[in-house]
Chains A and B, each alone.
Chain A
């Protein structure tokens, strides 16, 4: 009998194996990676990088998609494809910053509420309930209206309510994990509260948090696009997908590419994060079984 090569059965290998055979996860990951790369390398991979700035090219206004201009041109003659790629930068930055604020903040609140119970739990969870009752878009509009519209303020407006979902998630996870024996063992062994929260409980929450963060990225991008559609996000001439959809809407249906194509980019980007999140969830569900 021939010797079969023995594969290293580490948990890392097993995770990679399952991930690489999960079509949802792979498609999502591909889209996200491509988008991030495109955003990072935008000045070098786009055909007309200066069209991302305040350039006008009146002779090439409203041109349909062609070999020269892959996504056509807008009302001042700028290449839509280039602007879409640069628009990715704005969307991805938005998602990254919002989540970088909301996820740690919400996670810590959830850990504290879930572990300590009592007044800590009551205060934090009721605060969360109140925050959850406010529609995010309305809140974002209110914040953006009070402050001058800009990318930073848009990020602030979204982050200000986004942490609540993570608090809820981590709260319920902490309560489950807290009841497990290894947490009790750590307590009797004298571990500090900090140790128990961040070295025992938090590592066991990483899976669901990763899934939720990935799914959130898609939603944050959509909310951001909605804000800029309403004119409350980053201001022109910086290219932004939502703004492009809005300004292109005026020229529907004759110059459809000016509104529809940026919209399609938003769709694909959000879809990519959603698929990645779904795929991650499949991955983690099986692991926990």
Chain B
């Protein structure tokens, strides 16, 4: 399988209040076409910074990329001219945002918002599509994300939709221009667990049906197991371990990963809390 996205030795530092800190120390990861990869880490691990760097959403300053490369289809995104980079974003490579409540503009209908995004994406790709063509495409993606009444949803304002439906709209937004890589930022974190299960299932099915590659950013190990074949574990700006999901869970190689997995409560019971449970004193 051809390598679609390849991050090599990426290092980033942040400068705030006159002080500079290294946030990423030589991070490398690969996403092949049609692969389902997870990037897992706790807060402060650097997974969000990595994702933003890949999508080109990192504000420089206060951030500064001090080394490494991000190759998409063999081309380095960091040395590419800005126009070429923009042409890729939202088209070949697109993102599903985390918070469905705040990611949609409340004063425009779904059709307006998706239509506008499509219009600008078309422009970047040099494609010509009229209003009717755009509407068709919008309804088409809404149907792909299993919206029961696409026309009604298209005519609605975000406030009229439930959290789960809004998240589907965000996924639809990412699919508009037939991307090859979908980056999902903590999908479903802001939703109920039953709705999250639906959304994760939808993502899996979509990715398989459309032949997309999926890079899932999450802090939830259960989500990793459900959605990904390969996982990168990040801690303090470094990839501490990576491998096939089943292998990592069965036999983690580093202490950090081992402790992380041990900290997850089990549905079967048996992860009782408290010092008496023999987990060792925690300060």
Contact = CB atoms under 8 A, between A and B. Distances in A.
Binding between chains A and B: yes
Interface of A: 4, 6-7, 9, 13-14, 17-18
Nearest to B19: A7
Contacts of B19: 4, 6-7, 9
B18 interface: yes
Contacts, number: 13
9 contacts: A4-B19, A4-B20, A6-B19, A7-B17, A7-B18, A7-B19, A9-B19, A14-B17, A17-B18
A2 to B, nearest CB: 13
Interface residues of B, number: 4
A7 B17 CA distance: 9
Given A7-B17, A7-B18, A13-B17, 10 more contacts: A4-B19, A4-B20, A6-B19, A7-B19, A9-B17, A9-B19, A14-B17, A17-B17, A17-B18, A18-B17
A22 to B, nearest CB: 13
A18 B17 CA distance: 8
Interface string B194-207: 00000000000000
Interface in B1-40: 17-20
A283 B280 CA distance: 45
Q: Please give me the 8 A-B residue pairs with the lowest Cβ-Cβ distance, nearest first.
A: A17-B17, A14-B17, A7-B19, A7-B18, A17-B18, A9-B17, A7-B17, A13-B17
Among B17, B19, B20, the most chain A Cβ lie within 10 Å of the Cβ of B17
A10 to B, nearest CB: 10
Contacts of A7: 17-19
Contacts of B20: 4
B208 to A, nearest CB: 39
Interface in B168-200: none
B1 to A, nearest CB: 41
A206 B20 CA distance: 31
A58 to B, nearest CB: 60
A6 B17 CA distance: 11
B99 to A, nearest CB: 15
Contacts of A6: 19
A161 B5 CA distance: 64
Contacts of B18: 7, 17
Contacts of A17: 17-18
Contacts of B17: 7, 9, 13-14, 17-18
